[in-house]
Amino acid sequence: MVALKNIEKGNTLIVILILIVVVTIIGLVAIRESITSLKISTNSQAQALLMRNSDAYFFNIEGAGEVYKKLNASKFGFVGFASQPENIGKEVVFCFNQNIVQNFDTNTVGVISNILTNTADTIGTGKKKISPITRGACDPSVADNYTSGRKAVMTQVAIKVDNTPSAPLENFVQGTDVPQVSQPIKVRINTTSLMPAMASTATSTQIKSCLTDYPADVIKDGLNESNTIADCLRHYNVPFNAQVAEYRQSNTPM
pLDDT digits (tens, 9 = 90+) for 126-154: 899 999 999 989 999 888 888 876 778 88
Residue 86 exposed, middle or buried by CB count within 10 Å (0-12, 13-18, 19+)? exposed
Amino acid residing at 147? T
Instruction: Please report the DSSP string for 135-157 in residue order.
Output: SSS--TT-GGGSSSTT---EEEE
Whether the pTM exceeds 0.85: the reply is no
Per this entry, what is the length of the chain?
254
Report whether 194 contacts 209 (CB < 8 A).
no
pLDDT digits (tens, 9 = 90+) for 224-246: 999 999 999 999 999 899 999 88
3-state class (DSSP) for residue 24? helix
**CA–CA distance, 108 with 142 (Å, rounded to integer):** 14
Amino acid residing at 56? A
DSSP 8-state code for residue 133: P
**CA–CA distance, 72 with 195 (Å, rounded to integer):** 28
Order of strands, sheet of 240-248, starting from the edge strand that comes earlier in the sequence: 110-112, 91-95, 154-161, 186-194, 240-248
Minimum mean pLDDT among 46-50, 62-66, 120-124, 216-220: which range?
62-66
Q: pLDDT category, 219, cuts 50, 70, 90? A: very high
Amino acid residing at 120? A
Cα–Cα distances in angstroms (integers) from residue 136 to residues 85, 106, 211, 218, in the given order: 20, 9, 9, 19
Report whether 172 contacts 38 (CB < 8 A).
no
pLDDT digits (tens, 9 = 90+) for 43-100: 677 777 787 888 778 877 777 667 666 767 777 778 888 888 889 889 999 998 756 6
Amino acid residing at 191? T
> Which H/E stretch holds residue 92?
strand 91-95
**CA–CA distance, 73 with 254 (Å, rounded to integer):** 15
pLDDT digits (tens, 9 = 90+) for 30-40: 666 555 444 44
Domain boundaries, the chain: 2-248
